[in-house]
Structures are given as structure tokens and as C-alpha cells.
């Protein structure tokens, strides 16, 4: 099964974590902002970055649908789901 580069990077980071983790914690590391913090909301660089961040959420959902992520601790209102990589995910890497 072919993974997108975003799916692969999320999965690699989750699998490398020694404990369950919220995949979204890695999003700013995978696609760091490439614009000044003072950039306006309409700045094309900010909008492109926001699209990448939304794409990472889609990649995370696809990994869950493929049974590559297992929720260990469901979201509790203060943090997102904490997940771990499944054996199938580790094999796919």
C-alpha cells in the first residue's frame, strides 16, 4: 500500500514515539510556518500553510481508516486522541 508523504511522515513519528501521542502535535514540525508571524490572514504563504495543515488532518484520518493508528486514550476536551501505530502500520513502514 502506498502512503502519501504526509501519511508516511505522521506514521513514522507516531511509530517512533515511546508512548501514545496526538499526531497533530507533529504538524508544525512536518510543515513549519514559512511566513513571518506578522503576515496577514490573507497572505498567500499563510493560506498555503493552512492548506497543508488541513491536509495533515486528512492524512491522519486516512491512517486511522486504514487501521494504521489505534486510539489508546480518547480525546478528553483538553487534548486530542492519543494514538499508537498498529502492527500493520509498522509493517507498512
Mean pLDDT of the chain: 95
Length of the chain: 93
Q: Could you tell me the residue ranges of all domains in the chain?
A: 5-92
Let me know if domain 5-92 sits in CATH 1.10.10: yes
**Percent of the chain scoring above 70 in pLDDT:** 100
Write down the pTM of the prediction. 0.90
Provide the pLDDT for residue 1.
72
Provide the pLDDT for residue 72.
97
Amino acid at each position: 500500500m502506498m502512503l502519501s508523504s504526509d501519511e508516511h511522515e505522521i506514521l513514522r513519528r507516531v511509530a517512533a514515539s515511546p508512548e501514545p501521542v496526538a499526531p497533530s502535535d507533529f504538524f508544525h514540525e512536518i510543515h513549519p510556518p514559512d511566513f513571518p508571524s506578522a503576515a496577514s490572514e490573507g497572505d498567500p504563504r499563510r493560506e498555503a500553510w493552512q492548506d497543508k495543515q488541513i491536509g495533515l488532518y486528512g492524512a491522519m484520518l486516512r491512517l486511522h481508516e486504514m487501521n494504521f493508528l489505534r486510539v489508546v486514550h480518547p480525546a478528553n476536551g483538553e487534548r486530542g486522541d492519543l494514538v499508537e501505530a498498529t502492527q500493520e502500520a509498522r509493517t507498512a513502514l
